[in-house]
Amino acid sequence: MEKINEEINRSMLKTGTSIVGIACTDGVVLAADRQVSAGNIVVQKDFAKIIPINDRLLAAVTGSVSDAQFLMRIVGAELKLKELKSRRSATIKESASLLAMITFRNIRSPSMIPSIVGTLVAGVEEDGTAKLFSVEPAGAVVEIKDYDANFGSGMPYILGVLERGYKKDMNVKQGVQLALECIKASTQRDTGSGFGVDIYTLTKEGVKKVLSQEIQSVFK
């Protein structure tokens, strides 16, 4: 059984991952790298790890690719059903709590391949307020008032940059630059991260993709 589990872990597509969420005075910044790995092999260089759930809610994911994609589809469908039944949109906290509940259930369901997904959830409330939540792979949900990297493989490198560069009064424009520094730092040191960065902002103006950039090694 141990050999089977080891083989599954080696062959499973994983996002390795560097993701970061930063709470700013005027909104939230989400950023992620693009690399997908299967064991020690890079299998995709342009995977979007920031997934739109609906027009005002985003999720940056780490863990198994298939589990993350399936989880986001389920959450999106459940939120749409809730909206139709209650005739109102779910709050960002309600959305994060729903995702956490499904994550909690999935990782504890008997399976040879347990579902392992960590998520940073960011969204804009109807009043224009942007909020950031972290849903841990075990299902815990926490509102983030400063920053988080949610157990991605690049987290140790990202946290060092955040500890040095984050300020409580920073705005979204400054947050975008800090997020870019975080992803660039992690892709230099973390073998599970690389090849590009995507950055989104969430403000009272809505959800906007502000940067999509390749990160490549230059050989001379």
Determine, yes or no, domain membership for 150: yes
Residues assigned a catalytic role: 17
CATH code for the domain of 18: 3.60.20.10
Contacts of 127 (CB under 8 A, 6+ apart): none
Determine, yes or no, domain membership for 215: no
- The residue segments making up the domain with residue 116 are 2-202
Q: pTM value?
A: 0.88
User: What pLDDT, on the 0 to 100 scale, is given for residue 82?
Assistant: 93
Domain count, the chain: 1
pLDDT along the chain (220 residues), means of 10: 45 68 98 89 92 96 91 96 94 97 86 82 97 94 96 92 97 98 93 93 97 70
Determine, yes or no, domain membership for 214: no
Determine, yes or no, domain membership for 120: yes
